[in-house]
Amino acid sequence: MKPKTFEEVLEEVKGKRILVANRGIPARRICRSITEMFNAKAIMTATDVDKTSPATSGANELLMLGSDPRAYLDLDRVIREAKASGIVAIHPGWGFGAEDDSFPAKCEKAGLLFIGPRQEPMRILGNKVAVRKLAIELGVPVVPGSDGAVSIPEAREITKKIGFPVMLKAEGGGGGRGIYEVYKDSELENAFAKASALAQASFGNPRLYVEKLLTSVRHIEIQVIADHYGNVFCFDERDCSVQRNHQKLIEITPSPWPKYSEALRTQLKEYSKRLVSAVGYYSLATVEFLVAADGTPYLIEVNTRLQVEHGITECRYGIDLVEEQIAIAFGSTLRFSEESTKPYQWAFQCRINCEDPQKNFDPNSGRITRYVSPGGQGIRIDSCVGDGYRFPSNYDSAAALLISYGNSWNKVVALMKRALREYMISGVKTTVPFHRKIVEHQKFIEADYDTNFVRHNYAELMDYSDREPDSLRMTRLVAEISAMGYNKYVRLGEYRGRDDKRVGRFELAEPPEVATWFEPRITRGMDRDAILDTLRTDREAGIVHMTDTTTRDITQSNSGNRFRLAEDRIVGPTLDKCGFFSLENGGGAHFHVAMLANMTYPFSEGAEWNRFAPTTLKQILIRSTNVLGYKPQPKNVMRLTGEMINEHYDVIRCFDFLNHIENMRPFAEVALNSSKNIFEPALSLSWAKGFGVERYMAVTDEILAMCADVAGVSLKKAERMIILGLKDMAGVCPPRFMRELIGTIRAKYPELVIHSHRHYTDGLFVPTMGAAAEAGAHIVDVAVGASVRWYGQGEVLSTAAYIEDEIGLKTHLDKDMIRSTNFLLKQVMPYYDRYTAPYFQGIDHDVVRHGMPGGATSSSQEGALKQGYIKLLPYMLKFLAGTRKVVRYHDVTPGSQITWNTAFLAVTGAFKRGGEREVRRLLNVLDIVNLCNEADLTDLERDARLDLYRDSNDAFRNLLLGKFGKLPLGFPADWVYQSAFGKGWETAIAERTEASPLTTLVDVDLNAEREALQARLHRHPTEEEFIMYLNHPGDAINTIEFCEKFGNINNLPVDVWFEGLEKGVVLNFQGNCRKPHIMRILDISEPDENGMAVVRYVLDSEIMSHQVRVSEPEVGGKDRTEMADPSNIFHVGSPSNGDLWVTHVRPGDRVKVGEELFNISIMKQEKSILAPIDGVVRRVIKSANYTEDRKMVPVVEGELLVVLGASAGVCPTCKFEVPSEECNFCPHCGQKM
C-alpha cells in the first residue's frame, strides 16, 4: 500500500459509506469520528431491539439485522448486507465481531476495508495462549501458568506446580470476561465446566488455560497505535486497577500510583512496542500488564481493537484515536511521534453501568424514567441511554462512559465528584452512587489501591442509599395515590375510588395573630428537680397543670394513629404556646403506626417536634417490658431503646398492664439516671372487685421502693424524684373513686406529684378529672376541642372551666392560643374523620362492664363486623365482661385485647358448634360461674364450664401462665386451666410463674442483629433504624424501603396523602432540601389488559410518566408469564431479565439451602440462583442446558422458574414434624404450609 497523508485520506473517504458493525456506546462514538472530519456517511447495524435506541441518533442510516438480538455476531450476514448497501469499510467497535479474528479476512474477501488489524497479527496477539508464547520468545515477562489451552486433568497438574489460587481464563476472552478464580482443588472441576460453557457462549471458543492468580497487583495497560509502514507509537499508561471480578470500573491516565516511575513507563512501552512490531501489526492495540508491588510487570493479554477506555488517552493528549485508526486503515501514515505528541492533562473515567452494586452488581434493565447528564468544564460523556429509553437485557450493562480531565489528579477527582453528583438516571439501578463512594474514599484519593480495592473495602463502598431526587420520588407516590384514588400505604383498605367525592383541597388558613401576655411556668431545659418543685409549688397555690394528648392518644383512640408529622407541623407550634405542662406526642401504638402507615421514622419525628415546638416538655408512653412493641423485650433492647427515648422526650410515662413493677425496672434505670428526664411510672387502673384504694396504695409503695432502689436514694427522696401516673385507659373509674384514691396517696406521700389520665368512653370525663384535681392531682390530661371525639381524652377548655368555676382551682393556660390551635385543627380533622374514623362511634357507658380501653373499644368491635359476626357482638361483650371476673387484670392494653380475642374465639366457636343457642348456653354457664360459689356448682355445671376457654389462643394461655408478669390478684381457679389447656392443664399449672418475663429473656445479640439489618439494607443502618428494627422488624424494613423509594411523605398536604391529586390541579411542595417544586397531572389512562394505568404529569418543567397497577390483569392478557410471589419463600424467580442457560434440578429432587438451582446469563454475567430453604423441588417451569443444545431460554425479571416444597413431614416455619405431606396448615404454629 502506498503511503498517504491524512489530508489525502480525508479527500478519499469524503462521502463514502462506512459501517459500524456494533451498537450502543461504541457505535455512537465511532459514528461521530466518521462524520466529523471525514464527512463520510455513518451507517450503524441495529437489531429490532436497538432500532430506536439513543445510540442510533449518531448514524446517517441503519443497517437492520432483524429480530435476533445476537445478529451482531453473524458476521457473514453483516458483510453480505454491507456489500449490498454500498459500504466501503467496516469498523467493528469493541465487543461482538471486534474479537473475532476471522472478521478481517472475511471483509477482505468481500472487497471491504476492515478498520482494524490484519487477521494473522490479530490472531496471534488476540489469542491469550499464542501471545503468551510470543512474549516468552521476546523476553516479555508473563504470569506463571499453562503454555496453552488445557483439559481438566492437565489443569490439575499445572495447579500442583504453581499452587492455588489460580485463574481459569477463556482463550478467546477479553474485557475481563471469561475468568474464573479457583482457590482449592475441590472447586476446579465444577468451575472448569462452567467457565468452558460460558466461554463458548460468549466467545464461540470453549478452550481454557490456567494462570497463577496474583494478589496485590496493579492493572496497567499501554495504548499502542501503528500504521502499515512500521511506525509505532505508545501512549502513556492507563491505570485500570479498580475492578470487580476482573471487570474494570475506573480507568486513569497517567497512573496516580506513587510508586509508578518513569523507568517502569519506559519499560512497559518498550515491551508493548516489541510485541506489536514482532507480528507486523497495524491499527490500535492495548497491551495489558499486572504490576506487582515491587514494580515487576507481567503481561496478561493484548487487545487487538479499540478499547472502552480509549477516551481518557484522547483527553490526555488532545487527540482522536478513532479518527487516526480510520485514517490508518485507509493508508495514512501515523501522525503521532515522540516529538510532536505530548501529554498535557490528567484524565479519569468511570464506567457507568446499569447494575445494582448492592446486589452483587446484578444487571438492571428497564425503562429509564429520568435522565440528566452532567456537563461543564472538564467533563466528557459517551452514553447510549436517554430519558424514556428501555434499557435492554440482551446485551452488556454499559450505559455511559463518564470522563473528567484537567491539569492534576486532584482536579480530575474534584471534577468527577461534581459530575457524579449531577448525574441522574432513574428507573433502573446504576453504578453512579457506587462510583460516588469510590471517589470519596480517602485511599482512592491517595492512590493507595490495587486490584483488591473493591474487595477489601466492599462493606464501606456498599454503604450508601441509592436515592433519586426527593422531588421525583415524591411525585411517583402522588401518581400512585392519584391513579388508585386511595392510599394503600395507610393500611385502611380501598376507602375511596378515584372518582369518589373528595373532602376538598387543603388550603390552610392561619389563625389571627393575638397579643399574648402569657409566660409558661415550666419549659424544656429546666432540670427535673426544678420542674417537680414548680409543680408542687403551683399545686399549693391552687394551680392545676394540664398535659395535651391531641397528637398522640387522641389520634390513637379516634383515628388509628394516622395523624402525620405533616399535620403535627401545623398545630405543634401553637400547641407549644398554650401553656401545657407537656405535649404527649409519642409512644404507645403511635410508634408502630408511624412506621406501619405513616412511613415516618418515629424518633426523627420526635426530634423535629423539639425544633418546631421548643418550649413545652414532650411526653412519651411506653409499655414496660413491651417497650414500644407488642411482646416482652430483653433488657438490653429495653435499655438501648430507652437511651434514644431519653434523647428526644422529657417525660417518660411507663405502665404495666398487670402492675408488675419489676417490669418497669430497666426503664427506671435509664430515666432516673438522667437529670433532665422525668420518669412517670403509672398505675394501671380498673374499677372492679379487688381493685380498690388499698390495692393501689400497695402498688404505689412498690413503685417508690423500686425507684429508690434504682436511684440509690431514700424512699423520701424517691418521692420527690418521680411523677406518679394514674392511668384509667378504659375510662371506667368514677369520680368518687378517683377522689378517694388521690386523697389517700397525697395523705401518705404529700410530695409525690400525681398525673391523672383517663378516657372519655363512659362519658364522665369532666367530672372525674374535676374530682382528681379537687383531691390533689397536679396534672390532668386533656385535648384540644376540634380533635375530641369519644374514645380519647376530654376537651381542655370545658375541663378547665369546670375546674376553675365549679371547684375553684386555677389553671395556667393561654386560652387564646388554645383557640388558635383549635382553629387549625378544625381544618385538618375533616380528612381524618372521613378516612380514619372508627366505624363505631359515640359514648359507650357499657365500658364500665366490659372494660375495653380507648380506641380498642371501636377497633375490636369493628373487627367482629368485618369478619361477619356483628350480630354476635353483644354476646362477645358480655363474655368479655364475665371473663374480667374470672381472670383478674387491669383494663389496659394488652390485657384487654387478649381477653377480647378470647371472647371473640369463644363466642364464634360456640356459634359454629351450635348457633346462637350454643352461644347463649355458654354465656349462661359463665354467669353461673361468676354468681355461684364453687361448693354450690353441680357436677354438670363444673363440666360445662370447661367449654368456656376451649377455643382460647396462646396469648390467653400465656397470660394464665404468668409469661407477661404476675397476675395482680393471683392465678385464677384450676378449672380455668383445665378449660384453656385441656389434657395438659396440670403441666400448665406446674409451669406457672410470678417472675418478671425479664428474668427469662436472654439478651439479644445486638451485633448479629445489626449485621442482619445491614445485610438487608446493603448499607449500615442508622442507630434509629436499628432501634426501629429491634422493636418492629418487618415494619421497620418496610418504612426504610418506602422512604428510600418515595421520600418524606410529610412534605405532602393531607388531601393529596388521602385522595391523590386531581387532573389539572397544581401541587406546590418542597423537598427535604427546601427547594420548591410543582406537579400537575396531565392524564391518567384507563388500565390496560395487564391492569396498568399510565400517569402523565409535569414535574417543574419536565413531563414525566409513571405506570401504576390499579387492577388485576385480565385473563389471557399479554402479561401471562407466571411470576414468583416475593412473599412466598418456596417461589424461586429470575432476579433480572436474562437468559437461562443451565438448570441443575428436576421435580422430586431434594435440595439444601444454598444449593444452586439454576444459572442465568444476565448482560454477559453469570448469576447463580440458590435454594432459599431446604426442601423438595415441586415444579420446574423453565429449564435449559446450554452445554448440550447450545440454546439459552429468555426469562424476565420476577418470572417464576422453580417451585420448592417443604420436605415431607417438616413445617418450614417452626420445623415441627407434620403428620402428613398434604397438610395445608401446620398443626403446631398454624402457618400455611
- Among the four given CATH numbers 1.10.472, 1.20.120, 1.10.10, 3.40.50, the one describing domain 847-991: 1.10.472
Question: Residue 1213 pLDDT more than 80?
Answer: no
Q: Can you spell out the DSSP letters for 625-665?
A: GGBTSSS---HHHHHHHHHHHHHH-SEEEEE-TT--GGGGH
Cell numbers found for residue 446: 491517595
- Mean pLDDT confidence for 111-125: 97
- In the set 207, 238, 305, 539, the catalytic residue is 305
Shared fold status for 345-466 and 847-991? no
Residues in the chain: 1233
Q: Could you read off the pLDDT of 434-459 as tens digits, one per residue? A: 999 999 999 999 999 999 999 999 98
Grid coordinates given for 637: 433492647
- Phi first, then psi, for residue 821 (nearest 5°) are -60, -40
Q: Phi/psi of residue 1217, each to 5°? A: -70, 130
Could you please report the per-residue DSSP string of 448-462? ---TTHHHHTHHHHT
The residue-averaged pLDDT of 1169-1180 equals: 90
Question: What span, in angstroms and rounded, lies between the C-alpha atoms of 664 and 654?
Answer: 7
Please give the class, per CATH, of domain 6-115: alpha beta
pLDDT reading at 1159 higher than 50: yes
What are 355-366's pLDDT values in tens digits? 999 888 888 888
Whole-number Å distance between alpha carbons of 1134 and 970: 57
CB atoms within 10 A of CB 1068: 9
What is the percent of the chain where pLDDT is above 90? 73
Half-sphere exposure of residue 587, counting CA atoms within 13 Å on the CB side?
27
1226: confidence class by pLDDT, cuts 50, 70, 90: very low
**Could you give the CA distance from residue 325 to residue 92 in angstroms, rounded to a whole number?**
12
- CA–CA distance, 1075 with 1048 (Å, rounded to integer): 14
How many Cα atoms occupy the beta-carbon half-sphere of 237 within 13 Å?
Answer: 28
Average pLDDT over residues 1019-1026: 94
Say how far apart CA 37 and CA 1103 lie, in whole Å: 37
Whether the predicted pLDDT of 1004 surpasses 90: yes
CATH of the domain spanning 345-466, picked from 3.40.1280.10, 3.30.470.20, 3.20.20.80, 3.20.20.100: 3.30.470.20
Distance CA 510, CA 507 (A): 10
Strand-pairing partners, residue 1142, are 1159, 1185
Distances (CA, A) of 545 to 278, 437, 811: 96, 53, 6
The yes-or-no verdict on residue 806 having pLDDT over 90 is yes
- The angle subtended at Cα 890 by Cα 888 and Cα 891, nearest 5°, is 120
Q: Which superfamily does CATH assign the domain made up of 528-688+696-711+720-835 to?
A: Aldolase class I (3.20.20.70)
Q: Model confidence over 1095-1145: pLDDT tens digits?
A: 999 999 999 999 999 988 775 545 567 888 877 889 999 987 788 888 999
C-alpha cell at 1075: 427547594
Is residue 1224 pLDDT above 50, yes or no? no
pTM (2 decimals)?
A: 0.79
Q: How many helices, marked H, and strands, marked E, lie in the chain? A: 43, 45
pLDDT tens readout for residues 178-231? 688 899 898 898 889 888 887 887 777 889 989 888 888 999 999 999 999 999
More confident of the two residues 829 and 1127: 829
| 757 close to 781: Cβ distance less than 8 angstroms | yes
Stretch 366-384: mean pLDDT, rounded? 94
User: Which residues make beta-bridge pairs with 651?
Assistant: 619, 678
C-alpha distances out from residue 495 to 501, 886, 1054, 1055, Å: 12, 39, 15, 14
Residues in CB range of 647: below 8 A, 6 or more apart: 603
Q: Which three cell numbers stand for residue 932?
A: 355461684
Bigger pLDDT: 820 or 196?
Answer: 820
Q: Which CATH number fits domain 470-507+1049-1109: 3.90.550.10, 3.10.129.10, 3.30.70.20, 3.10.600.10?
A: 3.10.600.10
SS3 40: coil
- Alpha-carbon separation of residue 958 from 20, 74, 626, 881, 980 (angstroms): 74, 71, 15, 20, 10
Q: Give the pLDDT score at 639.
A: 93
DSSP 1067: E
Task: Provide mean pLDDT across the span 982-999.
Answer: 94
CB 1046 within 8 A of CB 1022: no
Site of grid cell 354450690: 936
- DSSP string of 498-550, one letter each residue: TTSPP-----PPPPPP-------SS-BTB-HHHHHHHHHHHHHTTEEEEEE-I
Task: Report the alpha-carbon distance of residue 768 to residue 84 in Å, rounded.
Answer: 98
Q: How far apart are the first and last CA of the chain?
A: 77
CA 44 vs. chain centroid, Å, equals 41
Write the CB contacts of 1170 (distance below 8 Å, at least 6 apart in sequence): 1153, 1154, 1155, 1156, 1157
How far apart CA 681 and CA 675 sit, in angstroms, is: 16
- Per-residue pLDDT band for 175 (boundaries 50, 70, 90) equals low
pLDDT for 177 equals 64
Closest C-alpha among 783, 350, 309, 862 to residue 560: 862
What pLDDT, in 10s, does the model give residues 470-519?
A: 899 999 999 999 999 999 999 998 999 999 999 989 999 999 988 888 89
Q: What is the mean pLDDT of residues 729-740?
A: 95
The grid coordinates listed for 9 are 485520506
Whether residue 792 has pLDDT greater than 80: yes
Please report the pLDDT score of residue 418 as a whole number. 98
Q: Which is more confidently placed, 85 or 362?
A: 85
What value does the mean pLDDT take over residues 560-579? 95
Instruction: Pull the grid cell for residue 975.
Output: 378449672
Closest CA to 191 of 208, 215, 204, 212: 208
CA-CA distance, 465 to 170, in Å (whole number)?
Answer: 36
1004's grid cell: 439479644
Distances (CA, A) of 528 to 98, 465, 651: 77, 40, 9
Determine whether 305 is an active site residue: yes
For 536-565, write each residue's pLDDT tens digit.
999 999 999 999 999 999 988 888 888 999
pLDDT at 288 over 60: yes
At the second CATH level, the architecture of 216-344 is 2-Layer Sandwich (3.30)
**Number of Cβ atoms within 10 Å of the Cβ of 569:** 15
Per-residue pLDDT, averaged over 11-33, amounts to 97
Confidence of residue 1214 (pLDDT cuts 50, 70, 90): very low
Percentage of the chain modeled with pLDDT above 70: 96
Mean pLDDT of the chain: 92
* Coil vs helix vs strand at 299: strand
One CATH from 2.40.30.10, 1.10.1040.10, 1.20.1050.140, 3.30.1490.20 for 144-213: 3.30.1490.20
Going from N- to C-terminal start, the domains of the chain cover 6-115, 144-213, 216-344, 345-466, 470-507+1049-1109, 528-688+696-711+720-835, 847-991, 1006-1044, 1121-1233
pLDDT exceeds cutoff 50 at 1229: no
| Cα distance between residue 564 and residue 585, in whole Å | 11
For residue 835, the one-letter residue type is Y
Cell of 328: 490508518
Q: How far apart are CA 622 and CA 626, in angstroms?
A: 8
Radius of gyration of the chain (CA): 38
* DSSP string covering 1152-1181: -TT-EEEEEEETTEEEEEE-SSSEEEEEES
Q: What is the mean pLDDT of residues 407-420?
A: 98
CATH number of 1121-1233: 2.40.50.100
CB 574 within 8 A of CB 548: no
Is 1228's pLDDT higher than 80?
no
